[in-house]
Structure 1
Amino acid sequence: MKHTTHNFKTVATKGGKQYVEVKDRLLYLAHHFDGEYSIETDYRYFASRKMWVVKATVTLTQSEVTNTYTGLAQELESEKYGTVNNTSALENAETSAVGRALAMAGIGIESGIASADEVRKAESRAERNKLGKPEGEVLKQVSVPPDAAVTDGQKAELTHLLTHDAFTEKQRVAALAALPTMSEAAASQAIVTMKGRITEHENKKA
């Protein structure tokens, strides 16, 4: 099922190529697709790397024929204040995954499967690497013995911190699911990160 006749709006990236944004792929689906559709997303959180992985599934039904397309995306949480992934790594990954699933369906692929959103992020990461400041630098984990598991005290503190409204319901569910497999060092770092996020959240409300 291809969608090549629609005149998509494109934007130029630093490289000069024209790409379609995810929002425009979604707008096409909502207003121009002649059929029924659904979009579902599933996610997994890898606490040791502070990484969200999202799978998006787009189902299109047209002329009584149903096709399913999937897209995957991942994002690392960032401790750098002011960056998107400081507060919205999961949401960022979800947007990319949906955009890729729509591209797999042939929607908005004028310059390839990647969306303008993804290309901008890649260019931004490349620029940070040139400056010697990779976004993942602050995410390096402390090496610990394999038997240094998360303590009961850490579990209790993390569970308490997750009740704060600085975290979304999706983040709570994923973090709680990952808690049993955390190492003591990872839990300690998570506590520091979560306290920092709560402080930033409160400062924004003030």
Structure 2
Amino acid sequence: MHGHGYGPPQPTRPSTAVLVTVRVLCVGLALLTFGLLAWGTMLRIAIMRRRRLDWVLFWISLALAIAAFVIIGEFAEDETTAVDFVFLPLLLGLAIGVPIHYLVADIRHYQKPRPAAWSPAPSPYTAPTVPYGMPPQAPQTPPGYGYPPVPPQPQPTAHPPQPRIDQVRAELDELSDYLRRDRGEQDR
């Protein structure tokens, strides 16, 4: 009746076809736009993994894409400028680096096993549970942990205590003897 209840729902892994399709679209988004829309791929990683580093990388890629778009558009009339030597390689780095980072992060995200919300698995170092009324036994070290197994210690043999029924019977016998003696004295 009482207990921990249900754990939070575990996210399920999408089918392989969906994963491949999303990966192709995100990689194509970065490559085909020559890095200008690579921030969309980084946004997918940041939403999927929810890590601070991924959000920082998303904002950096967005700022770099906007800066490159503005500066290249501003200086497009010049034939060769120093800006072309800085921002074109930057866009090329976004176009190649972001898909590689995305594929590595996405594959690792869906490969690692998810921890269960609640796991009743016992630890090898805890004592096993015993039914009510059973004497507890000392836990034994599991084999293979570098310690020799501890043999169970012999319990001292004690005489079992006199059952309660025998004690009650003896007390009733004493009481009836006492009452017979008491009645015998009263009859005289």
Per the normalisation by structure 1, the TM-score is 0.19
Q: Which has the larger radius of gyration?
A: 2
Higher helix share: 2
